[in-house]
Chain A
Amino acid sequence: EADIYQTPRYLVIGTGKKITLECSQTMGHDKMYWYQQDPGMELHLIHYSYGVNSTEKGDLSSESTVSRIRTEHFPLTLESARPSHTSQYLCASSEYKTSGRNTGELFFGEGSRLTVL
């Protein structure tokens, strides 16, 4: 099983609250990602990181922010949650090899289901 953990698994909060979704992996992977997934829809990349102090925005515009101060930790923060932020948020990690065959296999966490009232 993959060693990547997300907390909380479920969160229900009111509009305007600040929230942080935690993601940690113990595999020493350099690359980490945050995806957003709505029911019946494909995963959309919202943030990714190549390594410590590296963060990039993904394909889907998001009002959330991320940080990568430690290799194993990639938290996602919403400063002021709104009902439109209600979704499933999935964290993932993969190895980054500069040479050789790289399958880039993704390992996903269990997800954080966010509901904003």
Chain B
Amino acid sequence: KNQVEQSPQSLIILEGKNCTLQCNYTVSPFSNLRWYKQDTGRGPVSLTIMTFSENTKSNGRYTATLDADTKQSSLHITASQLSDSASYICVVSDRGSTLGRLYFGRGTQLTVWP
């Protein structure tokens, strides 16, 4: 069964600290992995998209890594800010069809305290 599991479910850190969110998946055949940020009551916004051949991608203070062999990804946030408080969702796309099916994780709820 194709699944996307994220950990931890929730995380609280102090402003200025770094943190790492995890995503494990069993989706096969793999096409790409995406990380989204979703503020409370808003729609998700794309942070990164990585294909099989990419093992790291950065977007400002966000750095995503991908290990396609172990089917794991992480999202590292550097020097956290209050505005980083949000849910971070891992999404994996398969190659089962031309357009690819998306499998969503439940997200990690990050809270940054001052």
Contacts and interface: CB of A to CB of B under 8 A. Distances in A.
Interface string B39-63: 0011111100101000000000000
Contacts of A44: 104
A111 B104 contact: no
Given A43-B104, A96-B99, A103-B32, A108 B43 contact: yes
B104 A108 contact: no
Q: SS class of chain A's interface: helix, strand, loop or mixed?
A: loop
Contacts of B41: 111, 113
B100 interface: yes
Given A31-B99, A104-B99, A104-B100, A42 B43 contact: no
Interface in A19-69: 31, 40-45, 50
Interface of B: 4, 32, 34, 41-46, 49, 51, 89, 93, 98-100, 102, 104-107, 109
Q: SS class of chain B's interface: helix, strand, loop or mixed?
A: strand
B106 A41 contact: yes
Interface of A: 2, 6, 31, 40-45, 50, 90, 92, 96, 98, 103-111, 113
A105 B42 contact: no
A43 B42 CA distance: 13
Nearest to A59: B101
Nearest to A113: B41
Given A42-B104, A42-B106, A104-B93, A111 B99 contact: no
